[in-house]
Amino acid sequence: MTDQHQQAADWLAVAKRAAERANAISMGYFQTALRVETKSDDSPVTEADRATERAIREVISTAFPEHAIVGEEYGGSGDSTHVWLIDPIDGTRSFIRQLPFWSIQIALMVDGELVLGVSSAPAFNETAWALRGHGAYIDGHRVHVQPVAELSQADISFGNIRSLANSAQWAQLGSWIQTAARSRGYGDFYSYHRLAGGQQDVVVESDVNILDVAALSVIVTEAGGVMTDFSGQPIGLDSTSVLAACPELHQQLLKDLLSC
């Protein structure tokens, strides 16, 4: 194994270890009485979010003290070309309402490029991961998006689309729903895992941040999909929207969005 491959393997091993520790902590809080606070952006937070992030940070910083970390609850620390992006409980609203649609998101960005993603959903007992150039996996099985040539043959899923409802692209969304074989709204990690596994074909979200989707972007891309924002730009630090699909469908749907 080359030094570069060993380094990537070390990154993944640490990310998985952090996710396993986070799984245990978050599940200890799940479906229990929680004190919910409201952050300055009006989003909810609980001690489960904070405890889980502290655990992830501890595992990563112990293994790679020279790396930077940016987390949902404790912000940024360190200055490095290697930046870990953490959302300790993505889907806090689901977590609070005792629904299983939440996950632990851990990604690594090196020199501005997303290279690793781990997305763990302990309430589903499911973990997806990917390393750039090494494929995508769900629970140890390599996964691939399903090639679909036409929207009329596709299942499409929507996450948070509040701002899309106030945009010129809203009518286009209605057209997609009319055309697609089936439409769903699972939210958060779930649709991306299903897309990567070939069980769903399109994911659309208009209200996200990089911590929500960094790991998922690596997983979908390594499964053979294409994941960009609504303007066709790769997912990056400033991304707020997502269009994800197999290459054929993504090209068609992006053209629709850009024509609005």
CATH numbers and ranges of domains, the chain: 3-134 (3.30.540.10), 151-258 (3.40.190.80)
Is pLDDT at 78 greater than 70 in this prediction? yes
Q: Report pLDDT for 1.
A: 61
CA distances from 145 to 130, 135, 222, 224 (A): 14, 11, 9, 6
108 has a pLDDT exceeding 80: yes
Give the pLDDT band of residue 186 (cuts 50, 70, 90): confident
- Assess whether pLDDT exceeds 80 at residue 187: no
d(CA 175, CA 151): 10
Q: Give the residue-averaged pLDDT of 38-57.
A: 95
pLDDT class for 120, splitting at 50, 70, 90? very high
Beta bridge partners of 82: 110
What is the C-alpha to C-alpha distance for residues 237 and 228, in angstroms, rounded to an integer?
12
Kind of pairing between the strands at 155-158 and 202-205: parallel
Going by pLDDT thresholds of 50, 70 and 90, the confidence category of residue 3 is confident
Count of all residues that appear for the chain in the document: 260
Is the per-residue pLDDT at 217 higher than 90? yes
